[in-house]
Amino acid sequence: MRSGLLILAVIAGYILLRGWPEQWHPIIRIFVSASLLVIAFSFWGQCERSTSTLAKSARKPRAFDYLAISLAVLLIESFFLVFLSIVPEKSEEFAITLDDLLQSDSDYEKKKNSSESQEKNRGSNGENESLITSNWLFSGPGRRSLNKNKKVRPSNRPEVYLFPSTTNDARFLLDRELFLRNFTLATYRKESWFPLSMIPQTLSARNEVINFEVTEIEPKITYEISHQVNRGGPTLAITVPNLLSIKQPSLREISPDTFRLPPNTIRGEEYRYEVTSTPLDFDNILETIPGTLLSPEYLELPSNPKLRGKIKTLAARFGTPTRESLLSLRRYLHENCRYSLDPAMPAIAEPVESFLFETKTGYCTHFATATVLLARAMGFPARIAFGWSGGRYFSDPNLFVFRAREAHSWAEIYLKDRGWVIFETTPALREEGLPSVAPTDEISPYPTNFGDVDKKLNGTNTDSLLKVSLWIGVALFALFIGALIIKRPSVLISGDSPVPGFLPHSPNYLSAFRSACLAHGHPMPSGCTLRTHLEKITAPDFTVKLLQYHYSVLYGDQPRNKMIEKKLLHQLRKWEREAV
């Protein structure tokens, strides 16, 4: 029974610390889990009382005893709070620093080759995931498989919130197709997209802001992003392309334009940070000259010779790499391919080949993949990006809301003197697209229970809360220790007298006397005094000195003498050996 309750408490504590229920504040979850564990361990440690104890408590528990137990429980909970709030962040920072120091080019290449060999061993059976919520966006190593015969079932759950800093920024975003980028992928193989291989780098803030060296093109917009922690993998920064600056203490660039956020210190499950971007869209750029990139992966085509040949033949129809050829490519996809959340491709088909030359039906990931491969065949460095597109604007709180059904992928091409530019080819008639404006009577889905904490960036309130919790824990610990020192019972040591009302601990020589009597066949009954038992048995002469010493220490003022007790122990053990 006791063990079963302990197991249930451990399971409940684990579930609470993993983040359920989501509406609870992390401090409440830590408090409840710690309380459950303390109660379970206290109950588990209890045992049945012996009916033949030599001594019983001389008094009932008092108020101070309950106070001491309560302080101990609060101290343990404060320790849990501080430990679980501070240690994970510091551990990750240490791991990142250590990784930066130990990571080398050769080590990264070995890891890359090992990952590629594992992919080859998997065979051609890629993952067939259903795009339900943003958890599909980034998980594990960042691999994204192209669905073939599974229908996409997007939900209506709000996932990302964008707060323009001014009404002009909001108006600018409303006048164009709005994209939020989460991460980019560059390598296409085995019917899947993978990140570009690179050595991860840690970017540190200067004056609380991280700036990026990109081509600044007007207009420049400033906004705040709010979103939850990604439970399916690392939580990445979400921004409007292209990123100029972000207000974060640090970022971990794990692939180009893919940044892992530091551990959350704002709240248990929400990030909010300020960003500045300068959006670059193909439709707003007149000069389209292919740029030169150092990485050849951005021009790679599928390894399948048959598919590669078909892509090159189709790309040749659009001509040399110019703006007109890209317009021809987009027009071809719009006229010949149909958008559908149910692609219904044959299970054995290669998804790109099926989309371009057979069923010609797919959704955003199929359009973006075909665009990237065709643009590469034309000579444009290209990659695929994942995030959200569209959004719903609420004028009263000046807020854009992006839902799971607006999760989107698109192609990006690299142009000379421009950098990465969004090149959207998915038809406009789809679940995501241009922002919509909510009616004035429609309520924003942004959670308001966070209160003023939402207005604080960089975790200021939480840092104060942690400091207060730490000081409370220290104060409780000091109070607990001080109370124990003031009220602690006296211990029988040399020069001390026994505490009235309490039975003293049995000395070593008395235990040795019981053992010797048992060896001689005269066990000392429970509750029998030393004098009474000596009168009933025949004992050696030194037991007279034993009796005198014992009663002078127990009832007299004589302090305990280590030399006398050592001599008595030696004589008692010798007497015990004589019985063998």
- Digit-coded pLDDT (tens) for 506-517: 678 888 888 888
The verdict on 513 and 441 lying in the same domain is no
User: Does 205 map to a domain?
Assistant: yes
User: Does 495 map to a domain?
Assistant: no
Tell me the pLDDT band of 276, cut-offs 50, 70 and 90: very high
At position 565, the amino acid (one-letter code) is E
The verdict on 216 and 343 lying in the same domain is yes
What integer is the mean pLDDT of 112-123? 43
Is the confidence at residue 30, as pLDDT, over 60? yes
Q: Which range (45-49, 163-167, 184-188, 566-570) has the least confidence?
A: 45-49
The verdict on 536 and 387 lying in the same domain is no
pTM of the model: 0.58
The verdict on 405 and 334 lying in the same domain is yes
User: Does 395 map to a domain?
Assistant: yes
Q: CB atoms < 10 A from the CB of 453, how many?
A: 16
* Strand pairing category for 361-362 and 338-339: parallel
Taking the mean position of all CA atoms in its chain, how far away is CA 506? 53
Give the residue carrying structure tokens 């610390």. Answer: 17
**Helix, strand, coil: what percent of the chain each, to 5?**
40, 15, 40
The verdict on 436 and 306 lying in the same domain is yes
The answer to whether the Cα torsion of 22, 237, 438, 267 is positive or negative is: positive
3-state DSSP call for residue 384? strand
pLDDT value at position 25?
Answer: 67
pLDDT value at position 14?
Answer: 78
What integer is the mean pLDDT of 433-450? 76
Tell me the pLDDT band of 93, cut-offs 50, 70 and 90: low
User: Does 307 map to a domain?
Assistant: yes
The verdict on 521 and 411 lying in the same domain is no
The verdict on 445 and 549 lying in the same domain is no
Residue 68 vs residue 472, higher pLDDT: 68
Q: Distance (Å, rounded) from C-alpha 124 to C-alpha 307?
A: 15
pLDDT value at position 34?
Answer: 78
Among 462, 392, 434, 424, residue whose Cα is nearest residue 159: 392
Q: Which letter does DSSP use for residue 162 in this model? A: E
Q: Distance (Å, rounded) from C-alpha 34 to C-alpha 425?
A: 53
Q: Which range (79-83, 92-96, 158-162, 380-384) has the least confidence?
A: 92-96
Residues 6+ apart with CB under 8 A from 50: none
pLDDT per position as a tens digit, 378-423: 999 999 999 999 899 998 889 999 988 888 999 999 988 888 999 9
Is the confidence at residue 429, as pLDDT, over 80? no
What integer is the mean pLDDT of 144-153? 70
Residue 138 vs residue 192, higher pLDDT: 192
| Domain finish residue from 440, 457, 474 | 457
pLDDT value at position 388?
Answer: 92
Tell me the pLDDT band of 116, cut-offs 50, 70 and 90: very low
User: Does 194 map to a domain?
Assistant: yes
9 touches 36 (CB < 8 A)? yes
Q: Distance (Å, rounded) from C-alpha 99 to C-alpha 554?
A: 65
The verdict on 446 and 535 lying in the same domain is no
The verdict on 295 and 398 lying in the same domain is yes
pLDDT per position as a tens digit, 200-222: 888 999 988 999 876 656 688 99
Q: CB atoms < 10 A from the CB of 180, how many?
A: 26
Q: Which letter does DSSP use for residue 281 in this model? A: B
Is the confidence at residue 490, as pLDDT, over 50? no
Distances (CA, A) of 116 to 122, 297, 377: 10, 14, 24
- Most confident range, picked from 379-383, 404-408, 470-474, 493-497: 379-383
Q: Distance (Å, rounded) from C-alpha 282 to C-alpha 294?
A: 22
pLDDT value at position 576?
Answer: 87
Residue 33 vs residue 181, higher pLDDT: 181
The verdict on 532 and 394 lying in the same domain is no
pLDDT value at position 491?
Answer: 44
Taking the mean position of all CA atoms in its chain, how far away is CA 79? 19
pLDDT value at position 469?
Answer: 59
The verdict on 531 and 449 lying in the same domain is no
pLDDT per position as a tens digit, 505-554: 567 888 888 888 888 888 888 878 888 888 888 888 888 888 888 888 88
Strand partners, 180: 388
Query: Which residues constitute the domain of residue 329?
Result: 103-457
Give one DSSP letter per residue of 221-278, joined into a string: EEEEEEEE--TTS--B--BPSSEEEE--SEEEEEETTEEEPPPP-SSSSEEEEEEEE-
Counted domains in the chain: 2
Number of helices and strands in the chain (H, E): 14, 20
How many residues does this entry show for the chain?
A: 580
Tokens of 3: 């063990």
User: Does 44 map to a domain?
Assistant: no
pLDDT > 90: what percent of the chain?
Answer: 23
User: Does 420 map to a domain?
Assistant: yes
What integer is the mean pLDDT of 366-377? 95
Is the confidence at residue 106, as pLDDT, over 80? no
Mean pLDDT of the residues in the chain: 77
What integer is the mean pLDDT of 441-469? 55
The verdict on 350 and 443 lying in the same domain is yes
494-500, long-range: CB < 8 A, 24+ apart: 494/559, 494/560, 494/561, 494/562, 495/559, 496/559, 497/557, 498/554
Tell me the pLDDT band of 40, cut-offs 50, 70 and 90: confident
3-state DSSP call for residue 161? strand
Residues 6+ apart with CB under 8 A from 367: 333, 337, 339, 355, 425, 426, 427
Cis-peptide into 242, omega within 30 deg: yes
User: Does 574 map to a domain?
Assistant: yes
What integer is the mean pLDDT of 130-147? 54
